[in-house]
Amino acid sequence: MIRIILSSVFIIFGLLLFATELYGVNKFSFIMNRMHAAAIGDTLAMMSCMTGLIIYSGFNATSLKLLLVVVFLCFSSPVASHLIMNLEVETNEKADSHFETKHIEETEQDPKEGLEE
């Protein structure tokens, strides 16, 4: 009974995070804000729901597979979101009205010049 209650808490928390993600994706007008809301939902909500399913199924081969899915999502979703954000920054023609980009200026000095041996 405790396992069912604990797994239900994780799954309900994940569903609430998904609802928050949907609200954020629909409410925000700027693409980067939408992407941030979607990335949070992808990682945290999926991890919470999968953790609930792992607890519900018990510790067996199925839970090991679900754990591998959680690990894969934990690494792949933030990287994919970051790449999409970089694409948006590089290709957006109206970027100056939304955010400011700063570039690192190259120094004319040799980086080893100030070091003493």
**115 belongs to a structural domain:** no
Q: Which domain holds residue 61?
A: 2-91
Structure tokens at 46: 């999926």
User: For 73-79, what is the mean pLDDT?
Assistant: 86
**13 belongs to a structural domain:** yes
**9 belongs to a structural domain:** yes
Look at residue 109 in the predicted model and tell me its pLDDT.
55
53 in Cβ contact with 70 (< 8 Å): no
Question: Tens digits of per-residue pLDDT, 10-59?
Answer: 999 999 999 999 998 898 887 778 888 888 888 889 999 999 999 998 88
Dihedral pair phi/psi, residue 104, rounded to 5°:
-75, 125
**109 belongs to a structural domain:** no
**37 belongs to a structural domain:** yes
Number of domains in the chain: 1
8-state DSSP, 102: -
**112 belongs to a structural domain:** no
CA–CA distance, 90 with 86 (Å, rounded to integer): 6
Structure tokens at 32: 């980067």
- The model scores a pTM over 0.75: no
**114 belongs to a structural domain:** no
Look at residue 48 in the predicted model and tell me its pLDDT.
93
**41 belongs to a structural domain:** yes
